[in-house]
């Protein structure tokens, strides 16, 4: 059996994803054949992976980033269970890359995405809810455990990422992602906490103290994340934490503002995306991205934010939409529901006014669908026929079978473009003369380029440097920003690689890597003490 490690966290967004990627990069640079793994992810930021059968499948975006840290192409087994939230009550289930299609809930569980007003499952979809989780859980756990076993047979080391917190005591009996996974696979576990949130010592101690003895025996130590200031002031607390838990802190990672690419969730972003560099010309280009409630694949905008002179801001303020040079409606897991939200908040009026002024507006995937005249949806929201924003002469319909594929083509006078598609909606009707935005390699056309209103189902297109530069040049022209100039040398692929190397550098410089390697290679120490009170009794 290969070496392994579980990176758990005291909270969501504590730093599990980046620490996992950093450890993977450190091991990869040491020549270790290493792979990432997350048994179950809940995120609408996903990446497309081409499976062994040639079909496209989805995994969490963070696991694709971790694969790159390992020098690997993404593999569906790196994230065997992906839950894509469609509401506060339900999530679409993606198992080994493919959305489950058999009904998962009996009639009468309520109205939610994937479940109709009559309580019946939407055709061709499976939504996981509190009602049916225990029914689905054994299948999900078997799939996850089998995927990990295969990876451990193929790789020297597998670095696993937990989800949420391992001390979610209300969920422990059904857990297969945190300590349930660690117990099953005998994985030593480190717990990371975000000191920026405060309460770091209480959260680390409490995480251990709320686990039963068998789980505690796998918790080997801690990592503190996002520290700013004098480490000498923190050291007494680290020493006391070691005294009361009998476990070391493997290191303290500093806060680094350059770590913003490939965010696991859009909520991890600040309102201003990235670190805008000074413009190459005399003017900035201001981009307002509407932060939809169910925003998906917000990473599309990261490539724009790497460009000098481009300020990308996520917003829910109509005034910021009105003041922007370029407005972007991003992807969403629930097109019709988020369109209704857009209208309730006044943002739809701001978007329409922006377009009426002749300034550029871009819709991506669900955002593109919102720009249509009409949307026919009996799959995702099951609201039937609803009016779109009416800015593009197209109609959208939804198919129970999801399109999941990697795409290659051209745009703007044969500039090469690559991207990926994840959507149930498709263009069912269009005016014959509507100019496309993109052309597939086989000659089919995609999207729309109608003056200042543009749209596409493709995610990731802005990672193609030439296309991104041409798009921004056109957007600046339409916005009247004649002093804006694109940089001729920005490489998004190079920026991502620099981020991965930075993660590896932070691990090497700030963690006790010798101790980490002993943990990965040899498992948890045998003498870890029990910290009372332990897990509360069930029931």
Whole-number Å distance between alpha carbons of 495 and 67: 16
- Please count the CA atoms within 13 angstroms of the CA of 504 that sit on its side-chain side: 19
Q: Which two tokens stand for residue 376?
A: 């026919």
Question: How far apart, in whole angstroms, are the C-alpha atoms of residue 418 and residue 343?
Answer: 33
For 531, residues 6+ apart whose C-beta sits below 8 A from its C-beta are 205, 208, 209, 216, 244, 245, 246
On whether the CB atoms of residues 194 and 11 are closer than 8 A, the answer is yes
**At 377, is the secondary structure helix, strand, or coil?**
strand
Residue (of 266, 255, 253, 231) closest to 85 by Cα position: 266
How far CA 226 is from CA of 12, 13, 158, in Å, comes to 14, 11, 25
Q: Is 365 a catalytic residue?
A: yes
From 365, 376, 424, 457, the catalytic residue: 365
- Catalytic residue of the set 354, 423, 459, 510: 459
- Please give the span between the terminal C-alpha atoms of the chain, in angstroms, as a whole number: 37
160 catalytic per annotation: no
Instruction: Identify which of 120, 181, 172, 121 has the alpha carbon closest to the alpha carbon of residue 149.
Output: 181
Question: Which 3-state string (H, E, C) describes 216-241?
Answer: HCCEEEEEEEEECCCHHHHHHHHHHH
CB 31, CB 21: distance < 8 Å? no
The values of phi and psi at residue 30, to 5°, are: -85, 0
Contact 38, 62 (CB under 8 A): yes
Tokens for 13? 């967004």
Helix (H, G, I), strand (E, B) or coil at 287: strand
Alpha-carbon distances, residue 493 vs 65, 294, 306, 417 (angstroms)? 12, 27, 11, 14
Nearby residues of 123 by Cβ (< 8 Å), 6 or more positions away: 378, 379, 400
- Could you write out the DSSP letters of every residue in 362-376? EEETHHHHHTSSEEE
Are 516 and 23 in contact by the 8 Å Cβ rule? The answer is yes
What distance in Å separates the CA atoms of residue 147 and residue 37, rounded to the nearest whole number? Answer: 9
Structure tokens at 19: 């620490």
Active-site residues, by number, are 365, 459
């Amino acid at each position: 059996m290969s070496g392994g490690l579980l990176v758990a966290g005291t909270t969501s967004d504590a730093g599990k994803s980046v620490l996992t990627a950093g450890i993977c990069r450190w091991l990869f640079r040491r020549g270790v054949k290493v792979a990432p793994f997350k048994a179950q992810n809940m995120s609408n930021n996903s990446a497309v992976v081409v499976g062994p059968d040639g079909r496209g499948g989805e995994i969490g975006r963070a696991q694709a980033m971790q694969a790159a840290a390992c020098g690997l192409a993404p593999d569906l087994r790196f994230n065997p269970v992906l839950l894509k939230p469609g509401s506060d009550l339900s999530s679409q289930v993606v198992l080994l890359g493919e959305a489950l299609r058999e009904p998962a809930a009996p009639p009468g569980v309520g109205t939610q995405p994937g479940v109709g007003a009559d309580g019946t499952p939407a055709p061709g979809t499976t939504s996981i809810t509190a009602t049916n989780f225990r029914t689905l859980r054994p299948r999900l756990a078997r799939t996850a455990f089998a995927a990990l076993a295969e990876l451990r047979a193929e790789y020297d080391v597998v670095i696993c990422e937990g989800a949420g917190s391992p001390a979610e005591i209300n969920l422990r009996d059904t857990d297969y992602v945190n300590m349930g996974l660690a117990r099953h696979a005998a994985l030593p576990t480190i717990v990371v906490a975000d000191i920026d949130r405060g309460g770091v010592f209480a959260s680390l101690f409490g995480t251990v103290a709320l686990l039963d003895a068998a789980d505690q025996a796998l918790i080997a130590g801690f990592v503190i994340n996002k520290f700013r200031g004098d480490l000498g002031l923190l050291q007494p607390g680290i020493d006391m934490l070691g005294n009361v838990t009998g476990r070391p802190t493997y290191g303290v990672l500093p806060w680094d503002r350059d770590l913003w690419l490939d965010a696991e969730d859009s909520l991890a972003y600040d309102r201003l995306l990235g670190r805008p560099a000074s413009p190459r010309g005399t003017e900035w280009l201001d981009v307002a991205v509407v932060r939809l409630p169910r925003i998906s694949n917000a990473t599309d905008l990261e490539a724009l934010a790497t460009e000098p002179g481009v300020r990308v801001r996520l917003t829910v303020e109509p005034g910021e939409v009105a003041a922007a040079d370029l407005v972007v409606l991003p992807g969403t897991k629930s097109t019709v529901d988020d369109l209704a939200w857009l209208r309730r908040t006044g943002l739809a009026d701001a978007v329409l006014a922006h377009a009426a002024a002749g300034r550029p507006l871009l819709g991506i995937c669900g955002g593109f669908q919102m720009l249509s005249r009409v949307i026919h949806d009996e799959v995702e929201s099951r609201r039937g026929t609803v009016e779109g924003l009416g800015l593009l002469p197209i109609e959208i319909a939804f198919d129970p079978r999801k399109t999941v594929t990697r795409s290659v083509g051209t745009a703007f006078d044969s500039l090469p473009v690559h991207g990926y598609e994840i959507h149930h909606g498709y263009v069912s009707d269009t005016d014959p003369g509507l100019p496309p935005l993109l052309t597939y390699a086989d000659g089919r056309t995609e999207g729309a380029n109608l003056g200042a209103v543009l749209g596409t189902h493709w995610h990731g297109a802005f990672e193609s440097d030439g296309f991104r530069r041409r798009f921004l040049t056109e957007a600046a022209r339409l916005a009247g920003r004649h002093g804006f100039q694109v940089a001729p040398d920005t490489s998004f692929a190079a920026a991502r690689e620099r981020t991965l190397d930075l993660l590896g550098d932070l691990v090497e410089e700030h963690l006790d890597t010798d101790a980490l390697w002993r943990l990965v290679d040899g498992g948890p120490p045998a003498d870890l003490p029990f910290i009372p009170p332990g897990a509360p009794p069930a029931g």
